[in-house]
Amino acid sequence: MPHLRSAFRPVSRRLALAFVSVALSGLTVAGARADDTIRIGYQRSSTLTTLLKTSGELEAALAKQNVKVTWHEFTSGLPLLEALNTGNVDFSADVADTVPVFAQAAGAKLTYVAEEAASPAAQAILVPANSPITSVAELKGRKIAVTKGAGSHYLLLAALTKAGVSIKDVTPAYLTPADGRAAFIGGNVDALVVWDPFLASTQAQSGAKVLQNGEGLSGYKRYYLTTDAFAKRNGPALETIVTQLKAKGAWVKANPKEAAEQLAGLWKIDAAVVEQGNARRSYQVATVTKDGLAEQQKIADAFFAEGLFPKSIVTGETAIWQPVSQ
C-alpha cells in the first residue's frame, strides 16, 4: 500500500478552498430543508403508532406541513434501530429502553425524541402452567427464550442477578417474540421472557404463569428516536408527531375497550387479551430529559458486566431532541 501522503496529488489552495466552500454551502442548504416524506418504522407492540397509522390522523396532521408518511414494519426493536442508523427509516416508533443502549454500543448515532413512562408489569418471565419452577433461581441450567436487545433481555439479566444466577448459568435462546412464543408453547424452552401484547396473548393461549415481572427490577420505558440530522431539519414535523402520540396515548387510556377492539382486528388477538395487555402499559408520552434517562446507564452497565458489550458506554452522550416550544 502506498504511503498516504504520496497517494494524493497536490491541489492548489484556491481550488481546495473553492471545493470546501461549495461542500459547506450544500450542507447548509440541505440542513435547512425539511424532508417532504417521513419514513416511520414500527413494530407490533408500537400501539400508539399503529393506531395513528390506521386512523390516518398523523398523516392528516403532517399533510398540513406538506409532509407525506410511509410505514415500515419490523419484527422487533433492534432491527428497527439498525434501519434508522443506516438511513432506511427516518423515525422510530417506540422501542424498549434497552434497544437504544444496544444501538449506541454498536456505534449508532441516534437522538431521543420522546418516551412512554415506565410500565414494569408489561413484560415478564413466563413458565408453563405445569412447570415445577417456582423461583428465578430455579432457572439455572434451563433454556430460556428471549429477544436479544429487547427490554425483556434486561429483565432477564436483572432477575437472574438478584437471584444470584449468571446469564452464563442458563441457555438463552435468542428468538423473535413470535418464534419465542411458538417455542414456549411447543415445549422447546423452559421459560419465555416477553412483553405485551405477546405477554398477554401467550398467557391466554397457554395458561402460562408469571414467574417474575419487571416490578422493582426494570422500569421498562419505551423510546421514540430519530437521527440528529433528521431532528435538525424537521423540528415542526417532530412536534406534530409527539403531539399526536400524546393525544392517542390519552385516548387509549380513556377508551380501553374501543382501543382494544381496534387493535384486536389489526393484531388478530382477542379484544379482552389486548385490553389486558394495554392495562399494563402507561401510554403516557412526554419529551425526554437527561434525568429521565438514568436507568439507561444501569442497563448499559449490566450488559457490559455480562460481556454482551465490547466496551462500556456513557448513555448520557446520546442526543436528546427538544421542541422549540419547550
Q: What per-residue confidence (pLDDT) applies to 30?
A: 43
Where along the chain do its domains lie?
31-118+221-320, 121-213
Q: Which CATH class is domain 121-213?
A: alpha beta
**Using one digit for the tens of pLDDT, what is the confidence trace for 49-69?**
999 999 999 999 999 999 999
In angstroms, the Cα distances linking 54 to 19, 50, 204 are 47, 6, 25
Q: Report the distance separating Cα 1 and Cα 44, nearest Å.
A: 49
Q: What per-residue confidence (pLDDT) applies to 326?
A: 55
CB 142 within 8 A of CB 171: yes
SS3 track for 85-107: HCCCCCEEEEEECHHHHHHHHCC
Mean pLDDT of 116-139: 97
Mean pLDDT of 206-230: 96
In angstroms, the Cα distances linking 175 to 33, 43, 144, 181 are 40, 15, 10, 9
**Using one digit for the tens of pLDDT, what is the confidence trace for 12-48?**
333 333 333 333 333 323 444 678 999 999 998 899 9
What are 225's strand-pairing partners?
A: 92, 112
**Using one digit for the tens of pLDDT, what is the confidence trace for 274-303?**
999 999 999 999 999 999 999 999 999 999
Mean pLDDT of 251-259: 98
Q: What per-residue confidence (pLDDT) applies to 310?
A: 86
Q: Report the distance separating Cα 62 and Cα 59, nearest Å.
A: 5
Question: Which H or E run includes 195?
Answer: strand 191-195
Task: State the burial class of residue 317 (Cβ atoms within 10 Å of its Cβ: 0-12, 13-18, 19+).
Answer: exposed
The stretches of 112-192 forming alpha helices (DSSP H) are 151-162, 177-185
Q: Report the distance separating Cα 78 and Cα 97, nearest Å.
A: 11
The answer to whether domain 31-118+221-320 and domain 121-213 are alike in fold is yes
Furthest CA-CA distance within the chain: 79
Nearest to 89 by CA among 50, 49, 39, 46: 39
Residue 120 has pLDDT above 50, yes or no: yes
CB 172 within 8 A of CB 146: yes
Cα 248 to chain centroid, rounded: 18
Domain 31-118+221-320 has CATH 1.10.520.10: no
Nearest to 151 by CA among 184, 181, 125, 187: 125
Cell 436528546 belongs to 320
